A and B are shown apart, each in its own frame.
Chain A
Amino acid sequence: MHVSPVREPLINGEKSYKDITNDVMAPIRAKPGKLWFIGLGISMLVMLVGFAMIGYTVWFGIGTWGINRTIGWGWGITNFVWWVGIGHAGTFISAILLLFRQKWRTSINRAAEAMTIFAVMCAGLFPLIHMGRMPLGFFILPYPNTRELWVNFNSPLLWDVFAITTYLLVSLLFWYMGLIPDLGTIRDRMKTLWKKKVYNFLSFGWKGSARHWQRHESMSLILAGLAHHHFSALFCFRSCVFGFCHGAHTHDCYTKSAELPGIYYRWPRGIHEQSDYCYRLHCGNCLHNRAVYGMVQRCGIRALRVHEQGHGTLCLGILDYDDLQRNFTAVAVD
């Protein structure tokens, strides 16, 4: 392993490639322990309660949420944005840090991306269940119909639909693509023929050759570029929209990227072997992200608040660039 003279090693313990492969394979070959089943049981219980409550809402109506005219969304949108924030934290790790060439992200990026996918799924739940008439929710999709009816592309809620769908797809792709070399590794380590065939199929026939690696890296960068685009636009825009919409109060990624070090600090320590891969270096770096998030988010909200109060003109979605610049500078100076 090459050890850099200028910074801490990314992996502790002077491991060889074979050691790394063994470490990565170990949890896959092992049988799940009792704790895992207990954890699964509790989370399934909570999930069932969630489904029951969703059923209650859809059955009886949004009146069960206790919200009212000025606050039309309340917890629905707050939690939605919270989950999207978590997802963003994951994307930040996988996509943006990749673009910034932060090599330390490699050990945690898969978990981060998986977290993103699940977070986006959770987030996607809220636009569905907050609808007054969820069974007719498919109206929001531009499906072919005989009435020549399109959806309303002016509406930010519709942009949400496309945004979340895209986000989920891109994250899925990105996650899967990053998983392909590991699926190849697993295939190589499998003994049974049918398992080998399955993993071969899943890993798209990964050979581990230089050409494959090169393509893998280009694809990662491309997808990172797409995902980052989405991330920045969505993140900044969200802050802006909630500066306007009185119906939502937001605490986005600023807070939620704190989740990430939380997850990574505790979880890998539960899996002893992994503690070499994710430790304080990674957690510390995650915390730096918060500062970046916070600045951008506060700029967004402040820009729009100034805009609203200063001009008093309700123009949805139009940013006043000058205000943004000034504010950005002000916060940076802060």
Chain B
Amino acid sequence: MKKKKYWHLLEEFEPLNDVRVAEKSDVKASPTSRRNFLKVMGLGTASAALIASCKRPVEKAIPYFIQPEEIIPGKAVYYASSYFNQNEFCNVLVKVRDNRPIKLEPNPKSVITPNGTSGRVQASVLDVYNINRYKNPQKNGETTHWDTADMEITGQLAQIAGSGKPVLLITPTIISPSTKKLIAEFAEKFNAEWQQYDAIPMDGYRKANLQTFGTDALPEYHFEKADCIVSVGCDFLGTWLSPVEFSGQYAKRRDLHNENPGLNRYYQIEAGMSLTGSNADVRIRAERADYGRILAYIYNQLSAKKGVATVELPALPQEVIQKLYNVINDLAASEGKSLVLCGDNNPDYQTIVNGINQMLGNVGETVRFDRSYNHYRGSEQWKETLLNSDPGAVIVWDVNPVYNHPESEKIKAAIGKAQLSVAISSLPDETSELCTYILPSPGYLECWDDAEYKKGVFSVLQPTLHKLFDSRQAQETLLAWLENDIPWRDYIKNHWTSTWFSQQNEHSEADRFWIEILKSGELVLPAESDPMAFQPGETEKSIQNIAAEKTAEGFTVELVENINAGTGHGPLNPWLQECPDPVTRIAWDNYASIAPSVARQISIKNGDVIQLGNITIPAFVQPGQAEKTISIAIGYGRFTGVPEEIVTGVNVYPLAKIENGMRRFVIPGFAIEKTGRFEKMALIQGHQSMEGRPIVRESSFEKWKENPAAGNELHEEVQHHHTTLYGGYEYKGHKWGMAIDLNKCIGCSACVLACNTENNIPVVGKQESIRHHEMHWIRIDRYYNGDEENPEVVRQPVMCQHCDNAPCENVCPVAATNHSSEGLNQMAYNRCIGTRYCNNNCPYKVRRFNWYDYTGADAIPKNRLDPANMTVDLARMRHNPDVTVRAKGVIEKCSFCVQRIQEKKLTAKSESRPLRDGELQTACQQACPADAIEFGDMNDPNSKVSKMMKNPRNYHLLEEIHTLPSVGYLTKIRNNS
């Protein structure tokens, strides 16, 4: 087996000295309104007491005065809902304890996202408990009342409508059919124009589809049907179109422990190292500016193979052509079973992609228009109206163009000029602060809504707690303005029963239908395919356009969306900020990724601040980065709505350009100037070397087919040498184990965020992260292999291995950590006195120590280190009551979600039945969209975990030191021969 050379990366940072201590914040009470009896009695009392006073002692138990029937204190209730934010969609079950949502799980009945959720979804529960939320309706910065505001606004709207000036309503893409209906009514009454605006648009895709297929629908993609995937800069596992769905599909074809090994081959051609690209079987490094020509070249080559005429093209660099040879052959060999994608919003590029897919026969197989996507409907239309038509009223609902649009100055001026400006928003942002009226809206966990994410697939959103603060849903605001007294929930229910009840035949009563929909969360109805017809000739036109493209000079900057920061919402959520980026492993910052050769040329090292055009940003040396391309993540640099202590990053949205009426996030013509400044960044994993140990074992598909234990020879050897002086312990009953399939893990970090949510993990902030004091129980190590120009990347989630021969257990002087009779390495937080010997002794370095008082759980007052305001009363409502909040000076680590184990064991016991395999899921396992983590009983020979452990690909981390871990890893198999 070829010896892989895993390697070090570049230098470390040096620490700064800046410990920030948070102040307590005041949180005002909210008056209860006319709401559901259950919700008021339950949460209203608790929250009013908690929120109303900061100075009360923390231990409060408020019993129900009249206990609602369905609520059993201590037992969680699950509500079906949906997450839709920044064009990311997920069907979820919301775990509600004592009328507080504390965790989001995937809805296993969903047809779109049954496997898992994304990290952003997991972190979204924190947005409910954000103390920066708007608390009251405001006019010109002063608190006002809803009635007053409504009256004034409707009065002005009527007057403006009468005067003939346009009324502009700007929203993000709305996929809710009921809301669209309501908006239509509103638009009619007030003569308003409704436009949708997305921070990251896909209007180029829609335009291209309109040209090539005659419909502007975004088709479905079926990665599980594709034997060959070629992606040109498309981050489909991270942030493109429907990443959670695609991760699940993609993982199905990386699955080797089923009977049919149908491993696909995945090529990524990209400039910057993306999350998706780092998982590719073959990654081809190319310049961003060359994407179009690469697509055209592929099209030409495939055309040539089919004998179709090709179009003249300027030549590509020779090394790229060499690498594309295999790509083209593989594509030609998998007609109807391949998928070609491009991540650029350029309509010409997309037209060529459509042409390629059409030529390969993929349209109708892996690219289907049966159930097209409803999101990403934003355009630049609103901007035309806003800037050129002098609107009388501007209503901004959950959009933030002053932050994320390149023409933000003009937009700011235009909003200021409008006679009436209204912002409907949950959190303060740069745009809402400019508006005269600010109407607080609640987050999705407090809302009724519905969604049609894909054609014919409908879901609902249910509120899971009483609205915090004096907020009102946007739709309710519209209803109030329409002077319609019907509650919004009934509006939705009426719409559903009148429209879709008749189209299904499972329930015969409308009310029953509605209740069942609320329980299951999703309704799938047969849908008509979008009518489409391929227009030949469009592709050729696009290729000619590309041929006419000027070669870019200087550096090309590509603005990318990171999986955690998203389009701008991430910085408001400390969990998302603290979760390190899967590729660079940097938290709390964005940076300009530059190629190592360029860094050497200009002598820049990590953290050196460079000037690119108008922005100054720290540089990061990224192996695998294309030489003339610089990748920068958008979504950072938010100032409004973010507490000062956690403001980080640089807003690079202003760099985007408007071309042909669309925003382009690829901008050529930059030069790097050094500013001489240096900025510390929180690089969580600075060490890339495996130090000669077989930590991640991998092999190729060809070798695996001959020998399933390929790459894993050491496992046999170590098993052979396992001897011990002592007899083994017999685990009667359960023996918990976990198996992680490295082939499926894509590194999305949903498991990290799920673990944070489930286990009350503290947020330590940027300065502490720089000192490597981060508290995540599970981390996803990322190793590079090969040469730095284009390395291969492997990832490995590492959590406590629950070793049967644990080096940590016998060195604790007070016996705070020991082994349970079911194979778990337990941690008794209240016994731990913090000597950290276990931490030192752990070879996997998975134990975390509470270096400061991050949580406020200790007995010493006024020593809190909480830069992100996570210990104020409101934020503490996110805590999972089943898990201890650890004090300063205590060691913590992954517990295999022992609270879930106990809960499920007790449920099974009370039902007098054995625990079923798959019933019990750890948080990380449940959240993983690729099903990479499997947990279960190793004493049960039929459980999935047992089978995975017996798989010849299975090995244990550092098994040669005889710690006998309970976590198994399956070798990574690449299909790159």
Residues of A that sit less than 8 Å from B by CB: 58-64, 66, 68-70, 72-73, 127, 130-137, 139-140, 149-152, 154-158, 161, 245-247, 312-314, 316
Contacts and interface: CB of A to CB of B under 8 A. Distances in A.
Given A63-B768, A132-B890, A314-B962, A140 B814 contact: yes
B839 A155 contact: no
B832 A156 contact: no
B382 interface: no
Contacts of A246: 840
A316 B889 contact: no
A69 B960 CA distance: 22
Contacts of B891: 132
Contact of A133 (B768, B833, B837, B863): B833
Interface core residue of B768, B815, B860, B863 (most chain A CB under 10 Å) = B815
Contacts of B813: 140, 151-152, 155, 157-158, 161
A292 B960 CA distance: 37
Contacts of B851: 61-63
Interface of B: 15, 19, 768, 771-773, 807, 810-815, 831-837, 839-841, 843, 845, 847, 849-853, 858-860, 863, 865, 887-891, 960-963
A185 B932 CA distance: 81
A59 B833 contact: no
29 contacts: A59-B860, A60-B853, A61-B865, A62-B849, A63-B771, A66-B15, A72-B849, A127-B835, A130-B836, A132-B832, A132-B850, A132-B888, A132-B889, A134-B889, A140-B813, A149-B815, A152-B811, A152-B815, A154-B810, A155-B837, A158-B813, A161-B813, A247-B836, A247-B837, A313-B961, A314-B961, A314-B963, A316-B807, A316-B810
B773 A68 contact: yes
A316 B810 CA distance: 9
A140 B849 CA distance: 19
B852 A63 contact: yes
Given A63-B768, A72-B839, 5 more contacts: A72-B837, A73-B836, A151-B813, A152-B815, A157-B812
B833 A140 contact: yes
B800 to A, nearest CB: 14
Contact of A312 (B810, B834, B849, B961): B961
A73 B19 CA distance: 21
Contacts of B889: 61-62, 131-134
Contacts of B771: 63, 66, 68
Main SS class of interface, A: loop
Interface core residue of B15, B852, B888 (most chain A CB under 10 Å) = B888
Interface core residue of B19, B835, B841 (most chain A CB under 10 Å) = B835
A150 B852 contact: no
Contact of B887 (A133, A152, A157): A133
Given A63-B773, A313-B961, A155 B810 contact: yes
A72 B832 contact: no
B863 A60 contact: yes
Interface core residue of A58, A66, A130, A139 (most chain B CB under 10 Å) = A139
A190 to B, nearest CB: 47
Contacts of B833: 131-134, 136-137, 139-140
Contacts of B810: 152, 154-155, 316
A141 to B, nearest CB: 9
Main SS class of interface, B: loop
B815 A151 contact: yes
A98 B371 CA distance: 93
Nearest to B859: A135
A133 to B, nearest CB: 4
Nearest to A137: B833
A254 B963 CA distance: 35
Contact of A68 (B772, B814, B841, B860): B772
A312 B714 CA distance: 15
Contact of A69 (B772, B814, B832): B772
A314 B844 CA distance: 13
Interface core residue of B843, B860, B865, B889 (most chain A CB under 10 Å) = B889
B834 A131 contact: yes
A63 B17 CA distance: 12
Nearest to A56: B863
B126 to A, nearest CB: 24
A157 B845 contact: no
Contacts of A127: 835
Contacts of B960: 312
A243 to B, nearest CB: 14
Interface core residue of A69, A73, A134, A246 (most chain B CB under 10 Å) = A69
A69 B835 contact: no
B811 A155 contact: yes
A137 B813 CA distance: 11
Contact of A152 (B19, B814, B843, B849): B814
Contacts of B19: 63
A156 B811 contact: yes
Contacts of A130: 835-836
Contacts of B853: 60-61
Nearest to B860: A59
A62 B834 contact: yes
A221 B140 CA distance: 89
Contacts of B815: 149-152
A132 B812 CA distance: 13
A73 B834 CA distance: 11
B834 A133 contact: yes
B304 to A, nearest CB: 57
Contacts of A316: 807, 810-811
Given A63-B851, A152-B815, A131 B835 contact: yes
A151 B814 CA distance: 5
A162 B962 CA distance: 30
Nearest to A158: B813
A161 B812 CA distance: 13
Given A133-B890, A135-B859, A245-B840, A60 B852 contact: yes
B806 to A, nearest CB: 10
A113 B20 CA distance: 46
Contacts of B772: 68-69
Contacts of A158: 813
Contacts of A137: 833
Contact of B845 (A69, A135, A245): A69
B229 to A, nearest CB: 38
A150 B831 CA distance: 12
A178 B858 CA distance: 47
A151 B961 CA distance: 27
B210 to A, nearest CB: 55
A65 to B, nearest CB: 8
